[in-house]
Chains A and B, each alone.
Chain A
Amino acid sequence: MTALDEIKIGGLGASRRRVEDNRFIRGKGNYVDDIVLPGMLHMEILRSPVAHARIVSIDTSKAWAIPGVRLVLTGEMMAKRNLAWMPTLSYDTQAVLATDKVRFQGQEVACVIADDPYIAKDACEAIVVEYETLPVVVNPEQALATDAPLIRDDKENQQDNVVFDWEVGDAAGTDRAFAQADLVSKIELHYPRSHPSPIECCGSIADFDRSTSKLTVYMTTQAPHIIRAAVSLVAELPEHMIRIVSPDIGGGFGNKVPVYPGYVMSILASILLERPVKWIEDKTGNLISTGFGRDVYLRGEMALRKDGKILGVRMHTLSDHGAFFADAQPSKFKIGLMHSAFAAYDIPAAHLLARGVYTNKAPGGVAYRCSFRVTEAMFFQERMVQAAADDLGMDQAEFRRVNFVRDDDFPHRTAFGFLTDSGQYGKCLDVGLEAIGYADFQERKKEAAARGRLLGIGISTMTEPLGAGNSREYDILGIKMFDSAELRVHMTGKALLRTGAKTQGQGHETTWAQIVAHELGLPAEDVVVEEGDTDTAPFGMGTYASRSTPVAGAAVAMVARKIRAKARKLAAHLLEVSEEDVEWELGRFYVRSAPNRGVTIQECAAAAYSNMPDGMEPGLENVAYYDPPNLTWPFACYIATVEVDPQTGVWDVLNFVAVDDCGVRINPMIVEGQIMGGLTEAYAMASMQFITYDAEGNCVGSNYMDYLLPTAWETPGFELHEVVTPCPHHPIGAKGIGECATVGGPAAFVNAVMDALKGFGVRNIDMPMLPDRVHEAITTGRDVSGHPPVRQDD
């Protein structure tokens, strides 16, 4: 009997086609807006046109008069039910509907529930709101000015616009390192505000059934169980009377983790009207009011020895959180995992001082395709690294090599206290340099310069913490960040798998089945995966921060192993030998002394329902809750070469090489797709994608004409390479991958353009490097800041 071919059954390493695509390409996906319930009403939200104003009056009489209008809600009505404010995921409060004043453009002021969405929209326009405008704060400098208007005057004890002051690392040790430095390299950077902008906007259908007292909410959420807990808190309904169903999701990217006012309003409306209420956000609503990403300023300093060794790092961050502190992040860390910066480098001392401020901008600070501010951390790190190499006059690749954590130095405690456990950083860099033709590039650059062309090369290398988390350090609203999987093997050997994660394009329905195939030898096509329904899925924290494979994926392996342990007992029974005499190979148990005598996993499954030994509990199903011992630490090396047109400031990518080490790859095709998508977003950040505000607090970027996402026309090609260093603690050796490229990619583009502009005396152009900014840098020889410079006291 020959052993099963793991690739053929769709196990680990198989580039299996995505099973979910079958329904998507046939138009059979089931998104929230596809769901139609009997008697369903439609909700539209009236948003504030101004960024900061006291609400003098709201007159809803004309809206009520429109035929087909069923309910008009205002903040005052919410307040009567104690629902005008709700908690955020970062222990702040956020207005559901404004009562006292509006604090950002696009804030929810009223909502209308009507027979159809057209009527609801007409009625919103018929609501008359009188505003008394207030001075507007659109950046941290204004927020911290002594005469700044107090944005959060609703909060007792809030005297200014500071959200938090937080620090981590060793201040004294870092000071000592700087005292010993031969050279201190300094740079100021801004990671601009952006929006995750999933194609599908947010939405919900709340369906409260008075006869059962049960509330069902179909909604676009990446974290159904967290939402259930939050709804339970806000709506004061018991958990078992709440069912959250997250159907197919048209992209999340962190935008669909928070609790949004629209969800709460639709729930209250359904309770009041006893009818299903659907709310589907429009694109402008999504862009101007829901969770943004980034918007952090950095002042970075690096203490250097002449030979290139980094002695210490100081980071001062100043982050703009908008009107409410609604970051979705682990409770313990105020600026996410910013302190994961420099984890790839062996640095003796580091210190991070972080300050967050309120402004009259939309709330959010979500982990936009990253693990809680890791994108900012790695961007700042790699820009600081390039600046330091330039200041030292050292080759940028060599500077990295000198400072990398060595392969034999794991586990390694980083200067900020993380524990990294595996990697081959030097090898990844070598593969990248070889692929891009690093050795010849300086020659090419010189030749091009002789013909008036500007070429540049930029490297970005990083390891990042993915897969929060372990329960010691990571929780959201006090709930520990473990995850779960439940596996039910039917008597025919077919199986149903459910997890606490929630796919939004990551391909869980495909890859989870591959893990089961790897562990049990069941063909992947025999395993159906379900996620997103809190009534059926085991409790989990959802999908974001690249945590699915590191946490829920590990739970899948662990529950399959529990199944295999029971199947072994069944096999021993069927083979009439003792359990100790049974050996396992993929898909089959056999007698050690007689390998030809064996039973398949399917035969064991049948026995679990039809021929179990005396005293054994029937059935073959189990659940595993997995609390990872550590984060996973993938490594990436991204290298871009660019050509800059000095006359226009337009730059083009010549080549881009990506070397990713995400440990064992479950489905290489899906991994490559994740990297391609992430690099596209990285290119977007570097080249065009940002949300900015004018002095009055108007959001510039409220639709896709102003908020630029790159299309296939602009996006360069990417050449992918891999190195595999298995994760030492993950059951199948996998690390997160969904976000590496978004996180590590932007710095490669910026470093490349800055390399091209070296001769102009320019040190930094803030992202996005739009042509006018590049041109300004070339013509003035000065750095170009995307925003007014921001000072911060030490």
Chain B
Amino acid sequence: MYPSRFGYESPRALDEAIELLTRGQGEAKILAGGQSLIPMLKLRFASPEMLVDINNLPGLSHLTVDPDGSLRVGALCRHSQLERAAALAGPFPTIAAAAPLVADPIVRNRGTLVGSICHADPQGDWAAVAIALGASVVAQGPSGRRRIPVADFVSGPFQNVLAYDEVAVEVVFPAAAGTAAGGYLKLERRVGDFATAGVAVGLERSGSVVTRAGMALTGVGGATIDASGAAQALVGGELTADRIARAAEGAAAAAKPRSDHRGSAAYKRHIVHTFVTRILTRVADDVERAA
């Protein structure tokens, strides 16, 4: 496996990185964890003229909860940091559920959440989690910073809305109003395989009443699917069997899977339905136990 010839730069400051990207005119590619980019280079699926390695940039490894309760994940924060952050389980249960399911332990030690969202692989886990939780990407370019909701950030398979001279410096997950609940389930044929199907659910509740619901689907469409519309069935009441069934049916209908060697479209839809039901039933059980 020998990649095509490429240039390599390892800037020490964010401005320098942005300057390199600007000079690259779209032919430069950011290297963070490299867990998708390096295989693509070796398979010659990607042949950028230059790699801008951001691993030496200071101040991007953070995993921080702000005073207002929102979570900021820096561009160099590895999946394994999220996996080990036990404190996330309470305020961000969807993240805590997804972190150990991302790829395999080796990839998790190196790969990054921000990189995964930028890569925009429809089979990537984090985009679904971020959409379900209403998270945003913070991008910095020559003219400053902007915030882009992840639901708008992913524009298609392996496509995002970043300009070529912008760096995604962090992803911000807003704090839940009330109690956070939710989960992430994924079917994969083997640890590290692309998802056959995955479901991310992010809820906020006040007592037993759901006040906000987000949902997104992994691996069942050309891009990560925002199924928050289907999740609206849950808002404004308790997690009854009827509401759960309507959300599951809505999610299955929102999925746009294709039949392939991971299963038929009908099977993948069925898995989405099953997983939505399982996540919500578990949340309902937890609520009941807590009451």
Contact = CB atoms under 8 A, between A and B. Distances in A.
Contact of B274 (A121, A647, A700, A706): A647
B1 A772 contact: no
A772 B264 contact: yes
A770 B189 contact: yes
Contact of A711 (B2, B5, B192, B274): B192
B193 interface: yes
A591 B260 CA distance: 77
B196 interface: yes
B43 A703 contact: yes
B190 interface: yes
A68 to B, nearest CB: 12
The 4 closest A-B pairs by CB, nearest first: A772-B263, A713-B191, A121-B2, A772-B267
Given A282-B1, A713-B104, A648 B261 contact: no
Contacts of A709: 190
Contacts of B193: 705, 708
18 contacts: A117-B2, A118-B5, A120-B2, A121-B2, A122-B5, A283-B1, A711-B191, A713-B190, A714-B190, A714-B191, A770-B262, A770-B263, A771-B187, A771-B263, A772-B196, A772-B262, A772-B263, A775-B267
A680 to B, nearest CB: 13
A714 B189 CA distance: 10
Given A772-B267, A776-B267, A688 B189 contact: yes
Contacts of A505: none
B4 interface: yes
A260 B158 CA distance: 38
A692 interface: yes
Interface string A712-732: 011000000000000000000
Nearest to A773: B263
A282 B42 CA distance: 10
Contacts of A650: 187
A262 to B, nearest CB: 16
Contacts of A118: 2, 5
A710 interface: yes
Interface in A614-670: 647-650
B239 to A, nearest CB: 19
A650 B267 CA distance: 12
A716 B65 CA distance: 39
B272 to A, nearest CB: 11
A282 B39 CA distance: 13
Nearest to A44: B2
Contacts of B196: 771-772
B190 A708 contact: yes
B270 interface: yes
Interface string A309-329: 000000000000000000000
Interface string A107-121: 000000000011011
A501 to B, nearest CB: 32
Contacts of A771: 187, 189, 196, 263
A503 to B, nearest CB: 27
Interface size class of A (residues with CB under 8 A): 20 to 34
B130 interface: no
Given A282-B1, A771-B187, 6 more contacts: A122-B4, A648-B274, A688-B189, A703-B43, A771-B263, A772-B264
Max chain B Cβ within 10 angstroms of own Cβ: one of A647, A648, A770: A648
B189 A648 contact: no
A710 B261 CA distance: 17
B247 interface: no
A770 to B, nearest CB: 6
Interface string A38-77: 0000001000000000000000000000000000000000
A711 B103 CA distance: 12
Interface in B170-206: 187, 189-194, 196
Interface string A123-135: 0010000000000
Interface string B242-262: 000000000000000000011
Given A282-B1, A772-B196, A648 B187 contact: yes
A221 B258 CA distance: 42
B37 interface: no
B53 to A, nearest CB: 20
B138 interface: no
A710 B104 CA distance: 12
B213 interface: no
Contacts of A122: 4-5
Contacts of B262: 770, 772
B32 interface: no
B104 A711 contact: yes
Interface string A14-46: 000000000000000000000000000000100
B271 interface: yes
A166 B121 CA distance: 50
A280 to B, nearest CB: 10
Interface string B19-32: 00000000000000
Contacts of A647: 274
Interface in B42-86: 43-44
A710 B2 contact: no
A703 to B, nearest CB: 7
A361 B62 CA distance: 50
A700 B261 contact: yes
Contacts of A121: 2
A284 B196 CA distance: 23
A127 to B, nearest CB: 14
A281 to B, nearest CB: 10
Given A772-B262, A775-B270, A711 B189 contact: no
Max chain A Cβ within 10 angstroms of own Cβ: one of B2, B187, B196, B270: B2
Nearest to A649: B267
Contacts of A649: 267
A719 to B, nearest CB: 23
A648 B2 contact: no
Nearest to A711: B191
Max chain B Cβ within 10 angstroms of own Cβ: one of A117, A700, A714: A714
A789 B191 CA distance: 31
Contacts of B2: 44, 117-118, 120-121
Contacts of A283: 1
Nearest to B105: A713
A785 B285 CA distance: 39
A688 B189 CA distance: 7
Contacts of A703: 43
Max chain B Cβ within 10 angstroms of own Cβ: one of A649, A710, A772: A772
Contacts of B191: 711, 713-714
Contacts of B104: 711, 713
Given A121-B2, A648-B271, A771-B196, A710 B190 contact: yes
B191 to A, nearest CB: 4
A692 to B, nearest CB: 7
Nearest to A282: B1
Contact of B190 (A44, A120, A711): A711
B36 to A, nearest CB: 11
A784 to B, nearest CB: 11
B116 to A, nearest CB: 15
A708 B43 contact: no
Max chain A Cβ within 10 angstroms of own Cβ: one of B5, B104, B190: B190
